[in-house]
Each structure stands twice: as structure tokens, then as C-alpha cells.
């Protein structure tokens, strides 16, 4: 079983990336779970109200739901997280899966995400932050930044005992170092 965790302002398709991954996994005998966080895709809620805490709670509910399904071998549940889904997964540690894959992760979102909003729109710690791009637009409230700064992802990474595979391209960057077991 593989749970696919989407990134910031993405739905269960992750811009088509998860569609391809799910297809290949299913063709090879895997059971795949895809979901959208509240406010994304066809889910309830509003992306404006996003917080990392809310996404952590939702991810844990999805994991608990999956491991509670009849016929699921809980010793064979893995997770693949993309972009901000990586930050959500790390902040959720420890989690009840047996393997983890991170792709193009957002490892220091409190440092890197403001640049995205500054480059494409407006970044405001005390008001609305938004961007409008050809491919997407989003508006979030100040609660996102206030909540995000509470998380020390380096510390959470130290809580993890599950094997992790990091997949990165030439434009991806991990600005910190940690010990790998």
C-alpha cells in the first residue's frame, strides 16, 4: 500500500505527477491511496485557512484510515510525499508507515515559501499572502505563517526511525544536514 501526499495548493493529482505514479504502482500490484488536503481539489474547506497543523492532523487521519482498512498489511504501508507534503510528513513524525519517499521536498518552508509569494505576488506575515501565475493562483491568511514558524523540522526529522529515500533533481536543494541512519 502506498499513500501519496500532495504538496502546497495541490490536489490528489499533484499536477498530473501522482496520476502517473499511481498508474504505474497499480499496474505493479500496489494499492494506492490519494487524497486532497482541505481546500484543495474537490475537498471541503478553503485553502485560505491552511495551516501546517491542519495538514498534519489530516495526514494522520488518512494514515489511520488506511491502516484500519480490512485486508491492508500494516507491515507493508509506505508513503510518498511531494514538495510541501514533505514538510507536512516530517512535522507529523513519528508516523505509522514502514517506508517513506520524499520528492522535491520543501524542507525549510518558513524560509523558502515567502520567496515564492514575493516573486509571484505578495508576501505579508500579518495579512494576506497571494500569488497569481499563469499556472496557478492562491491566497492564504496570516495564520499559515504564524503556525509554520512553530515547527522545527530538523527536530522532527530526529524523531523518525522509518527508512527515507530522498529524490531530488538538479534544481532541488536541501539547505541543512542531518544524520541518516
- Mean pLDDT within 123-145: 91
Single out the residue of 54, 111, 110, 78 nearest to residue 5, CA to CA: 78
Cβ atoms within 10 Å of 158's Cβ, excluding its own: 12
- Mean pLDDT within 64-87: 96
pTM here is 0.89
CA distance 145 to 51: 8
The pLDDT confidence band at residue 170, using thresholds 50, 70 and 90, is low
84 CA to centre of own chain: 4
Summarize pLDDT for 27-65 with one digit per residue, the tens: 999 999 999 999 888 888 888 999 999 999 999 999 999
- Mean pLDDT within 69-74: 95
- Mean pLDDT within 146-175: 82
CA distance 1 to 166: 19
- Residue 179: per-residue pLDDT: 37
Least confident of 4-8, 26-30, 118-122, 152-156: 152-156
Q: What are phi and psi of 3, to 5 degrees?
A: -100, 125
- Residue 169: per-residue pLDDT: 67
What residues form DSSP beta bridges with 78? 2, 99
Q: What are phi and psi of 166, to 5 degrees?
A: -100, 125
Amino acid at each position: 500500500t502506498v499513500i501519496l501526499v500532495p504538496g502546497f495548493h495541490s490536489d490528489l493529482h499533484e499536477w498530473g505527477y501522482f496520476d502517473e505514479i499511481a498508474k504505474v504502482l497499480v499496474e505493479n500490484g500496489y494499492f494506492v491511496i490519494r487524497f486532497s488536503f482541505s481546500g484543495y481539489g474537490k475537498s471541503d474547506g478553503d485553502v485560505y485557512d491552511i495551516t501546517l497543523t491542519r495538514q498534519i492532523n489530516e495526514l494522520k487521519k488518512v494514515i489511520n484510515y488506511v491502516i484500519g482498512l480490512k485486508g491492508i498489511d500494516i507491515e507493508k504501508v509506505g508513503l510518498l510525499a511531494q514538495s510541501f507534503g514533505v514538510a507536512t510528513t516530517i512535522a507529523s513524525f513519528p508516523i505509522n508507515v514502514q517506508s517513506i519517499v520524499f520528492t522535491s521536498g520543501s524542507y525549510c518552508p518558513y524560509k523558502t515559501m515567502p520567496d515564492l509569494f514575493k516573486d509571484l505576488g505578495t508576501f505579508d506575515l500579518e495579512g494576506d499572502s497571494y500569488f497569481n501565475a499563469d499556472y496557478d493562483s492562491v491566497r492564504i491568511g496570516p495564520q499559515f505563517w504564524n503556525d509554520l514558524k512553530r515547527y522545527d523540522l530538523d527536530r522532527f526529522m530526529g524523531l523518525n526511525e522509518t527508512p527515507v529515500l530522498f529524490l531530488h533533481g538538479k534544481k532541488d536543494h536541501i539547505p541543512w544536514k542531518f544524520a541518516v541512519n
